[in-house]
Structure 1
Amino acid sequence: MRIAVTGSIATDHLMVFPGRFAEQLIKDQLEKVSLSFLADRLEVHRGGVGANIAFGLGLLGLDPLLVGAAGVDFAEYDTWLRAHGVDTSAVHVSETLHTARFVCTTDEDQNQIATFYAGAMAEAQHIDLARTAETAGPLALVLVGADDPAAMLRHTATAHRLGIPVAADPSQQLARLDRDQARQLVDGATWLFTNAYEAALLTERTGWSEENLLGRVGTWITTLGADGVLLARSGTPPQHIPAVPTEQIADPTGAGDAFRAGFLAGLARQLPAEQAARLGCALATTVLESVGTQEYKLLASDLLARIAATYGDAAARTVQPRLAGRA
């Protein structure tokens, strides 16, 4: 099952503020916010939702095709991704712009304030997914992740036209989309990914109720942080998958991308959605315990141990054959 992952390619600048954002906000002055947070740690890492998801799929042995735009500074990042199992042949490299930047500060309650600079990502709208599919070979699924909005719309329309199933993951870009755009991105998706906040924002942006949305997609996956994941389908009760617990959260950035990689890898290995979500939760917790979205080490034995401890030995035995060959 060949998966194309479309989405941003970026460099993450991750800082830690040793306090609480909420304590710095004055209720009656929120319309005139001018704040500076003195961070005591800075980490610079490779990131971008498209690259993060593709990286996880690559580690799990899926040979994902990354489709996105990067900048003139991409060479080292390109080498890194290829070394970890990602096919970057479909990445458009700008001749003038730098790779996108994600700058994020996290407080001691794991709240985050972030800014994203698009840079070369703006050129993603020029990528022709149909031509990419001809070159790369048959695609079984296209994940449309956060990217230049015009690119997201173009990739979605192309995938539907070609009859390729779509996994819609608008995430951070929901805030920029108007009603028609939001509807175009999710309508007809086989899989729809959001977190809890994005789920509420999606109903507001589309003007569709949860019931209406469920009637337009195959399965709606909502990540709930420490509360796990919710799988919802029209006409059936929602299915709750508990999170894999941890007491060693180092950085929440990238956990959602890791869940998506694990979930899609599970589907590609023909696991039922429930089991695929368990694999996704195990990978998400692995990322939570490291700083940086692509700095974690993947061990099949560790993933299986996490799954067994949370969901039982039978669940681990079901996943084990799908992880064959992973260190």
Structure 2
Amino acid sequence: MRIAVTGSIATDHLMSFPGSFTDQLLADRLDRVSLSFLADRLEIRRGGVAANVSFGLGLLGLRPVLVGAVGADFEPYRVWLKQHGVDTDSVLVSEEAHTARFVCTTDRMQNQIATFYAGAMTEARRIDLRSVVERVGRLGLVMVSPDDPEAMLRHTRACRALGVPFAADPSQQLARLSRREVLELVDGARWLFTNEYEAALLRDRTGLTEAELLRRVGCWVTTHGAAGVRIRRAGRDVLAVPAVEVPGVVDPTGVGDAFRAGFLAGTAWDLPERCAAQLGCVLAATVLDYVGTQEYQLYRDVLLARLRDTYGVGCAAHLTPHLREVS
């Protein structure tokens, strides 16, 4: 099954300030702030939800189609993604704007000052999924992840018009979407993805109960961090899958994106939902061992061992035939 992932593609610039921001703030001068902080470390990381999910799918051998908008500065990032199994030929390149940037400085107290520059992402609304289908052929699923809001709505409408199943992952954009827009994004979704906080925000934004929302989607998948994952369908008991224990977490950034990649891979291989969620949890645990959202590697034997150690031999046996492209 060919999966297209629409959404943000960005570069993260992460800096560390060895002091404390609050030491530089004057209580009687907060109406006129002009500060400069000398950072002692800069890390430039590849990011963006759609790119992160696509990276994970690519490592698993599914060759996903990445759909989003970038600037002319994207070329080195494009090469990286192609090297890791991602089809980037449907990415729109802006003639004017740079690729989206997340710039964040963190002080020694873990306080953060951050700015997100949408840049070329605002042009994602120009992308027509019909042209993607014409290029790659029939799609088995389109993942609509956080992006320019108008692009998210356009992609969802295109999926309905083309009869292509879609997954809804509004996450970070929930706060800025209207009730009507949120309902349009989730209505008829085969999969709805949220974390625990976003699940509550979704109910608040729509004014609907959990039962009412479940009648609008095929399946609702909610991640709960170290508490694992809950999978709900209308009229069925909740399926709970525990997380993989990770001693000494290195960096939690990108964990949810990695889970989605593993889960979608499992569903593409027609595995049971429980097994797909277990694979997602193993990928999420793998990301926790690295700094950055696309710095991790997958090793077949390690992945299967983690599955067996946490969940027993059942899922590992189901997955073994599908992991031939994992080293």
Q: 1:231 to 1:109 in 2, by over 3 A?
A: farther
When Rg is computed on C-alpha atoms for both structures, the one with the higher figure is 2
Where in structure 2 are the equivalents of 1:43-192 lying within 5 Å?
A: 43-104=43-104, 114-192=114-192
CA contact (8 A) 2:189 2:217 kept: yes
**How far is the alpha carbon of 1:106 from its aligned partner?**
6.5
Q: 1:107 to 1:284 in 2, by over 3 A?
A: farther
**How far is the alpha carbon of 1:214 from its aligned partner?**
0.6
Describe the SS at the equivalent of 1:86.
coil
Q: How many residue pairs get matched?
A: 323
* Paired amino acid for 1:187: D
CA contact (8 A) 1:6 1:67 kept: yes
CA distance in 1, matches of 2:111, 2:191: 27
**Residue equivalent to 1:309:** 309
CA distance in 1, matches of 2:38, 2:302: 36
The one-character-per-residue Cα deviations of 1:306-326 (angstroms, maximum 9, x if unpaired) are 111111123322222221231
Describe the SS at the equivalent of 1:73.
helix
**How far is the alpha carbon of 1:98 from its aligned partner?**
0.4
The one-character-per-residue Cα deviations of 1:113-169 (angstroms, maximum 9, x if unpaired) are 754211000000000011211111100000000000000000001001111111000
CA contact (8 A) 1:43 1:292 kept: no
The one-character-per-residue Cα deviations of 1:81-137 (angstroms, maximum 9, x if unpaired) are 111110011000001110001234678998977542110000000000112111111
Q: 1:39 to 1:174 in 2, by over 3 A?
A: farther
* Paired amino acid for 2:230: L
Please identify, of 77-86 and 110-119, the stretch whose mean Cα deviation from structure 2 is larger: 110-119
Root-mean-square deviation over aligned CA pairs: 2.7
CA contact (8 A) 1:218 1:233 kept: yes
Please identify, of 284-293 and 8-17, the stretch whose mean Cα deviation from structure 2 is larger: 8-17
CA distance in 2, matches of 1:261, 1:174: 21
**How far is the alpha carbon of 1:298 from its aligned partner?**
1.2
* Paired amino acid for 1:301: D
CA distance in 1, matches of 2:299, 2:39: 32
CA contact (8 A) 1:61 1:85 kept: yes
**Residue equivalent to 2:26:** none
CA distance in 2, matches of 1:312, 1:19: 47
CA distance in 2, matches of 1:285, 1:38: 34
Unaligned runs of 5+ in 2: 24-29
CA distance in 2, matches of 1:111, 1:238: 37
**How far is the alpha carbon of 1:181 from its aligned partner?**
0.6
Describe the SS at the equivalent of 1:181.
helix
CA distance in 2, matches of 1:158, 1:184: 12
CA distance in 1, matches of 2:51, 2:318: 28
CA distance in 2, matches of 1:289, 1:110: 20
- The answer to whether the aligner puts 1:296 opposite 2:263 as a matched pair is no
Describe the SS at the equivalent of 2:73.
coil
Q: 1:113 to 1:239 in 2, by over 3 A?
A: farther
Unaligned runs of 5+ in 1: 25-30
Please identify, of 259-268 and 308-317, the stretch whose mean Cα deviation from structure 2 is larger: 308-317
CA distance in 1, matches of 2:111, 2:187: 31
CA distance in 1, matches of 2:211, 2:228: 21
CA distance in 1, matches of 2:225, 2:20: 19
**Residue equivalent to 1:28:** none
Q: 1:305 to 1:80 in 2, by over 3 A?
A: same
**How far is the alpha carbon of 1:14 from its aligned partner?**
3.0
* Paired amino acid for 2:86: V
CA distance in 2, matches of 1:170, 1:134: 26
**Residue equivalent to 1:256:** 256
Please identify, of 140-149 and 8-17, the stretch whose mean Cα deviation from structure 2 is larger: 8-17
**Residue equivalent to 1:323:** 323
- The answer to whether the aligner puts 1:227 opposite 2:191 as a matched pair is no
Please identify, of 116-125 and 310-319, the stretch whose mean Cα deviation from structure 2 is larger: 310-319
Q: 1:36 to 1:290 in 2, by over 3 A?
A: farther
CA distance in 1, matches of 2:208, 2:267: 28
Q: 1:76 to 1:228 in 2, by over 3 A?
A: same
**Percent of residue pairs identical:** 63
**Residue equivalent to 1:27:** none
Q: 1:267 to 1:106 in 2, by over 3 A?
A: farther
CA distance in 1, matches of 2:259, 2:109: 21
CA contact (8 A) 1:102 1:114 kept: yes
CA distance in 1, matches of 2:215, 2:54: 29
**Residue equivalent to 2:269:** 269
Q: 1:316 to 1:64 in 2, by over 3 A?
A: same
**How far is the alpha carbon of 1:17 from its aligned partner?**
7.2
CA contact (8 A) 2:60 2:325 kept: no
Q: 1:73 to 1:212 in 2, by over 3 A?
A: same
